[in-house]
Structure 1
Amino acid sequence: MSLKNVNIFNYKVVFICLRHAGLCLSLKSSDAMGAPFNHQPQSGEQVMKNILLMAVTLFMLAASITSQAGEGTTNGTDTGTTPGFVGLWEGVDPEDGSHIMISISSNNGGTLKVLLYATFFTVCDDSDRGFVQGTGNVSTEGALTVNEFIVTCFEPSKTVTLPATFTRNPDGTLKWDRSAEPAPAPPTVILHKTSN
């Protein structure tokens, strides 16, 4: 993590960069005279959305870091028991255009923990508030199967359990096959690895 203060036109801006996650935040703290910024107050709903987004981002960052720390012999290479799955993956859902981030980490018991965050959830009655989690195993064919991929929706408050299958493509991408979901099955999502 790097932290840098920069004065720009009487504004003090703090840049926080988390190189591991490829995430940079900039926080305006005060002007050159030390007076606080005069900004419009946010609504309670907007504050909660910001807190939720930050919590999910930090949770996925922690899961990604944990997956690196616990890799050992299951380090995500083709020689381990989790052939290339461990890491942080990103892609775009062709059904609704949402940005998807998936963190896959080793549970040190031969299973893999899968966490998903998307900017939009069709299954949550077209809401942008929720997350998905599940635990899966890698089959002898090399597919990561999560039988209970649990979608937790915040608005409306509900949970939905779906199956999920992930396979590695020869080009290094990850394919999320959603054909086993209820009809009409959503299209396959291709994900790119952004961090180990």
Structure 2
Amino acid sequence: ALAAVAIGGGAAAAATAAAPGAKNAIDGQGQPPPAKRRKGSPSPWLYDLHAVLIHKGGGTSSGHYVAKVRRADAGSGWWQFDDEGVLHLGDTLYSGDAVNKSSKGKASKAAQAMAAMGRVSSSQGYMLMYVRRGANAGAEPAPPPVVAELVRTEMQRLAAERSQHADKVAAARCVIEARRAEVRR
């Protein structure tokens, strides 16, 4: 289960993705339905921050988006994707933007404490994405045998294609080197 929260103009709108065929996630009074707990899960309603989308620029019709994403295997920490640039941010997602800095330009103690707990401290988030804890707790299902065979065949074809390309590149380099040697004489 994935939840996204869009932030804009001081208002927040939340949307939760439901499984196909699932009933409404919220009843008429705005309350979630009674939850079924998974074995070992303290609560089925705990979510972890998974991604932050940030808009940089003057308005909605112009600007630039940056994504900060934590991999599903949380051991690899946060990554920032900014066009072609990819940067490993480490275990905490902390933005030292102006809201979180004192007049001396240093992060406030509250902002530092939030960063130490792995919480986000930024005023620039445009959209926040959460993943429900335990949603991917089971082993990934194996693909059907037909699909696995198609993937294996395609991987073999690509490996052969790469090998042929490497041979062509090596042959072309030999021709170029021979021509250079001939010109230098």
More strand by share: 1
Task: Give TM-score scaled by structure 1 length.
Answer: 0.25
Query: Which protein has greater RCO, CA pairs closer than 8 Å, 6+ apart?
Result: 2
